[in-house]
Structure 1
Amino acid sequence: MSKIEIKNLNMSYKHKVLDNLNLDLEGGQIVGLVGSNGSGKSTLLRILAGLEMTYKGEVLINDRKPDYKTYEEVSYQPDKFALDEKLSVKEVVSTYKTFFKDFDEDKFYKLFNEFNLPLKSKVKEMSKGMREKMQIALSLSRNTDIYLLDEPISGVDPSARKSIINIILNNFREDSILIISTHLISQIEPLLDRVLFLSDGKIYLNKTVDEIRNEHNMGVEDYFTEVF
């Protein structure tokens, strides 16, 4: 089963971004990573994806330190499209097939069609919301243990978010870990099994959604509004 272990993680740029952070996650969970801008959410995801190596502390993905060997176990979606925007959809697919042996082309086109996206478009011709939908399709079409989505629906029209949530739920591998970094707590709450609240580089809350509802008699967004 998928597993993430973090012990005494510290990361600094000009200032401290992650401060002695500790976290253990087991497979079979969709986790919401929430917090204000600058709280360290994106940095944490980049470390888990093996893209940031200058941290101090211990980080393990299925008992291995994140590096090029764990790329096959982690599907990472940054908050901005990472490939050349001049590429067509088919060229994007070809690139993913080249870099990721676990990429399922048939699954991608199935999700792409469910999102009602234009097949013959170039990336630069798509709206921000369309690009985000395509990125979700790309990310979910990899057969990995861990999925990291950084602000995946910030540019998507609110009316389309419910269908996106259903598509994510229907394509989540039950033994994997999916972490979604977001400001849109109320929009993704139906997805979540667990919530991590990150502030000033520390995890101030790590509870299941059911624990928050049962202990405080309120939804996740109401809880964060009241407490934080």
Structure 2
Amino acid sequence: MGSENIVKVVNVSKKFISKRALNGISLTLDKGKVLGILGPNGSGKTTLIKILAGLTKATTGEVSIADVGIGVESKSIVSYMPDRNYFYKWMKVKDAIELFKDFYRDFDESKCLNLLSKMNIPMEEKITSLSKGMHEKLNIALVLSRKAKLFILDEPLGGVDPVAREEILDIIISSLDEESSMIITTHLVRDMERLFDEVMYLREGEIFLKGNAEELRAAHGRTIEDIYREIFGV
């Protein structure tokens, strides 16, 4: 029997030619938990999750997902939603579904269709003609319709209006289960903080503060967002 850790990161650093993006990051995330990685742009959030998703390699340190080192096998159990678009311009919504079906053996088409119908996203609509909010909902529905061990959402509410934000949060909450974990990066802390079991504040590639969300609120006597504002001076 494996450990309850879905994510294990030990002393990970990432150096690019001109700068160090991550410096000695260590964290674990248990099955069934949601981790919020919080920090402004340039804090190292995207670099860290790209390492977890197998899209870039750590310079030093060790990373495993469900006891598997980063590679082909780990990629098959991670469902990653980047903060930018990855569809071809000619695609309709139904083509995006076909793409995911071809790409991922664990894709649950009926779950995805159910989510899209709840959100009133038509199959025949061209993706390029969807509003920003609709586009984000489509991305979320696709990514959360896999039977992955780890879901990674990079800025899932970026540029979305408040009504769409609520719908997206509802989808995320309804998709959580005890067999998988989720990592969400965001700077929209107020909207997202009710999702988080664990929180990690990243500043300039280093962990400034991390811990259980409830315990941090109790210890600091304030919300996760207020702690964020204090750390980053916003």
Match of 1:8 among 7, 11, 14: 11
Match of 2:87 among 80, 83, 86: 83
1:143 aligned residue:
147
Figure out how many residues of one structure are paired with residues of the other and give that number: 228
Identity of aligned residues (%): 39
Match of 2:169 among 159, 165, 171: 165
Distance in 2 of aligned mates of 1:177 and 1:171? 11
Give the deviation of 1:155 after TM superposition: 2.0
Distance in 2 of aligned mates of 1:55 and 1:126? 39
Distance in 1 of aligned mates of 2:149 and 2:83? 20
Alpha-carbon displacement from aligned partner over 1:143-178 (angstroms, at most 9, x marks no partner): 010000001111211122122212211111222110
Match of 1:45 among 41, 46, 49: 49
Give the deviation of 1:2 after TM superposition: 5.0
Distance in 2 of aligned mates of 1:16 and 1:77? 24
Q: Which amino acid aligns with 1:7?
A: V
Alpha-carbon displacement from aligned partner over 1:168-225 (angstroms, at most 9, x marks no partner): 1111122211011111000011211111111111111111221122112211111221
Instruction: Note the 1:27-106 alignment, pairs <5 A.
Output: 27-53=31-57, 55-106=59-110
Q: Which amino acid aligns with 1:12?
A: K
Q: Which moved more, 1:165-174 or 1:102-111?
A: 165-174
Alpha-carbon displacement from aligned partner over 1:4-40 (angstroms, at most 9, x marks no partner): 1111111112210010111111111111111011111
SS in 2 for 1:33: strand
SS in 2 for 1:91: helix
Distance in 1 of aligned mates of 2:59 and 2:90? 34
Alpha-carbon displacement from aligned partner over 1:35-77 (angstroms, at most 9, x marks no partner): 0111111111111011112532111111221111112210000
Q: Which runs of 5+ in 1 are unaligned?
A: none
TM-score by length of structure 1 reads 0.95
Q: Which runs of 5+ in 2 are unaligned?
A: none
Distance in 1 of aligned mates of 2:164 and 2:94? 24
Q: Which moved more, 1:92-101 or 1:213-222?
A: 213-222
Alpha-carbon displacement from aligned partner over 1:107-146 (angstroms, at most 9, x marks no partner): 0011112222232111111122211111100110000100
Give the deviation of 1:227 after TM superposition: 3.6
